[in-house]
Structure 1
Amino acid sequence: MRLFLSIPIPEEVADLLEDLQTDLPAGRPADPEQFHLTLVFLDEQREEVAQAIHESLESLRAPAVEIRLRGLELFGGREPRTLYAGVADPEPLRALHAKVLARLRAAGVAPERRRFRPHVTIARFNALRRGEKPRLERFITENAHFEAPPFLAREIELVHSVLGARGARHEPLAAYPLIEE
């Protein structure tokens, strides 16, 4: 099963992201009901590994993290693949990420080694057609000052990502509360 750990996005922030999508000049908008911030991508895992992941996080003691989405950026360089909203101050999320990685490694789970760049995906692109790239760049410039109100991440979810013809469908399997101070 394809798994990841994520932080859910509250409805009021998801609504702002969905509003951005209405003027998107290209690409395939992400499903607003599935907006999330991926903490760790775990890829394909056997059921017993999924159980080890769950057990390693059941006793996690980590503080809740305040998150503020700010700005729009692209992954993919000259050939954009993903439009996303960034995180204003990623350091608290990086600390949470490190703590979760340590738990996973102690449980014998080795997630992929990719630099952690916290973000929320807004749209995905295959190949941009003629004229779409300048319109996309203009859209990003016009929305460069996007900022959502801060929210408190109160839990981490273990999510099963089911791939289908219309993209991935995300099914939360478990939630691990974070400690509010």
Structure 2
Amino acid sequence: MPRLFTAIEIPEDIGAALATYRGGLSGARWIDVENYHVTLRFLGDVDDETAREASYLLGHVRRAPFDVTIEGIDVFGGSRPRALIARVKPSTALTELQAEHERLMRRAGLEPERRNFTPHVTLARLRDASSRAVADYLGLRGGPTRLSFRAERFVLYSSRDSVGGGPYVEEATYVLR
């Protein structure tokens, strides 16, 4: 059973800029730069028939390319931090693309996504990182000054069953046009 998700790739130059935030945080397991992405829809472990149906439906997406802006570094988990992220500014185009993926995956027979869409790039998974250490890290490191790029395609990725962070395999790519 493949474990699948859809995402927007992060260009090399943006990934390199985000990689400068690697290090200096105890308990962080840093994501490899080549695995940076903005998840649109997690499909999970699906059978081959569902994977084929999802891929087919995604091929019918007709959306124009759009700009994506990264606006800062943050953390998920509050007092129990679990991930260091780069916040992606929500935009109408991004939100509508994600909503279309949600509708299509439900049509393919998947359960609705339970979590609200919060666009981000995961930089590190945090294990045993204290909220104080994370606050100090964020205070010292700050965040990027508005990194932007043009999203011209999205990808259907597969991953192995692991604790996250890749490696990811491109199963299909879909051009925004």
- Which residue identity lines up with residue 42 of structure 2 in the other structure? F
- How far is 1:164 from its partner? 4.2
Question: Secondary structure at the residue paired with 2:158?
Answer: strand
Unaligned 5+ segments in structure 2 are none
1:109 maps to what in 2?
A: 110
Distance of aligned partners of 1:166 and 1:4 in 2 relative to their CA distance in 1, 3 Å threshold: closer
Q: Distance in 2 between matches of 1:96 and 1:164?
A: 27
1:173 maps to what in 2?
A: 171
TM-score, reference length from structure 1 = 0.88
Q: State how 1:20-59 maps to structure 2 within 5 Å.
A: 20-59=21-60
Q: Distance in 2 between matches of 1:159 and 1:4?
A: 5
* Kept after mapping to 1: 8 A contact 2:78/2:131: no
Distance of aligned partners of 1:165 and 1:137 in 2 relative to their CA distance in 1, 3 Å threshold: closer
TM-score, reference length from structure 2 = 0.90
2:68 maps to what in 1?
A: 67
Question: Secondary structure at the residue paired with 1:15?
Answer: helix
* Kept after mapping to 2: 8 A contact 1:3/1:161: yes
1:158 maps to what in 2?
A: 156
* Kept after mapping to 1: 8 A contact 2:27/2:128: no
1:144 maps to what in 2?
A: 142
Q: Distance in 2 between matches of 1:116 and 1:166?
A: 19
- How far is 1:25 from its partner? 4.4
- Which residue identity lines up with residue 139 of structure 2 in the other structure? T
Q: Distance in 1 between matches of 2:83 and 2:75?
A: 6
How many pairs were matched up?
A: 176
- Which residue identity lines up with residue 48 of structure 2 in the other structure? E
What do you get for the CA RMSD once the two structures are aligned? Answer: 1.9
Equivalent pairs: percent with the same residue?
31
Unaligned 5+ segments in structure 1 are none
- Which residue identity lines up with residue 139 of structure 1 in the other structure? Y
Q: Distance in 1 between matches of 2:103 and 2:132?
A: 42
